Amino acid sequence: MPDSDLGADLERYLEGLPGLSHQGISFLARGEYSLNYLVRGEQDLVARLVTGTQMGLPLEEQAPYEHHALELLAPSGVTPKPHHVDPNPGGLPYPLILEEYLPGRPLDYSTDLSAAARCLAAVHALGVPKKHRLQVHPDPAPAILEESRTLAEPYLSWDGAADESKTALRRGFARIEGFLERRDLFAGGDLAIVNYDLNTHNFVVDEPGGEAKLLDWEKARIAPRTQDLAHFLLPTTTLWRDDTATLLSEGQEREFVEAYLDRHPVEDEPRFYEQLEAMKTIVSLRAVSWCAWALQETARAGRPIANEETLNRSRRYLEPDFLNGLFKE
């Protein structure tokens, strides 16, 4: 269904909501798993139509899950405040979330590393909220390994994939299998609500002031906070968007981590850094496994990825040199 048709249906739905006064809507952005509209009013809102899920949930449960995450995150002051959720909105084909609109520009790695660190520290400082209903992954390695295998297997058995890429990808799986032998690697790791998708366009930076806030909590979960830090620092994240692509230097990585620890210290820094380095390998395997899935799925046209930028990045990340750089000893 075209976006314009959904916009008209959304307009009719919003008119029937008690207590909501709005001055029209406009299409904002399309994600892989959502359609997003700006709802103008006394307080601008975002209407998210949830078109898919990466959490293994039925579609009608994904919107309440994300809405619940936003409720838990609200005290941080750096995430959108939730306003309304409807898993079966009349007249609309997808579940709906209404949340606060946070204006700003995408994150710039050259100027905003400390702002991003402060933003994540504010989220992680919430710890594990009582009576939450989020998925919990205290040791994410087994779950990420299983998810990555599911994503990568069609690519690894695909004749269209280069043998060198398959070999390098299998090396990544072998590294994580080694981590699984260390049952104490994440024992006692600080748990928090993690975002799991920290690309530059999921941050918004306000001007003036340059403070960062974080959007898109569709994959929120309880996990070691190093999972977010690793995701933020990895080249699979920092190079993902053409308009903000940056390969962070060691100095920039250090600036980010030190700014984070300044706001949210740890008791055992050597163990923190050990977990962070392990987490980089674990999270990068999931990232390139998704790319492998995207390329193979597009080639067979089962669920084609229409975004050419996404396809180009996925192809680059499956090049042997890139994979070998991620999974070197």
**Domains along the chain?**
3-100 (3.30.200.20), 113-326 (3.90.1200.10)
Condensed to tens digits (0 to 9), the pLDDT of residues 168-206 reads 999 999 988 887 777 788 877 789 999 988 999 999 999
pLDDT at 329: 67
- Provide the residue count of the chain: 329
Q: What is the pLDDT of residue 305?
A: 58
Asked if residues 63 and 34 have their Cβ atoms less than 8 Å apart, the reply is: no
115 vs 234: CA distance, rounded Å: 18
Question: Which ranges of the chain have pLDDT less than 50?
Answer: 1
pLDDT at 149: 95
Specify the pTM. 0.90
Sheet containing 96-100: which strands, arranged edge to edge? Answer: 22-31, 34-41, 45-50, 96-100, 82-86
Question: pLDDT, tens digit, for every residue of 213-238?
Answer: 999 999 999 999 999 999 999 999 99
- Residue 304 confidence (pLDDT): 53
Model pLDDT, residue 178: 82
DSSP sequence for 158-200: -TTS-HHHHHHHHHHHHHHHHHHT-TTSSTTPPEEEE-S---G
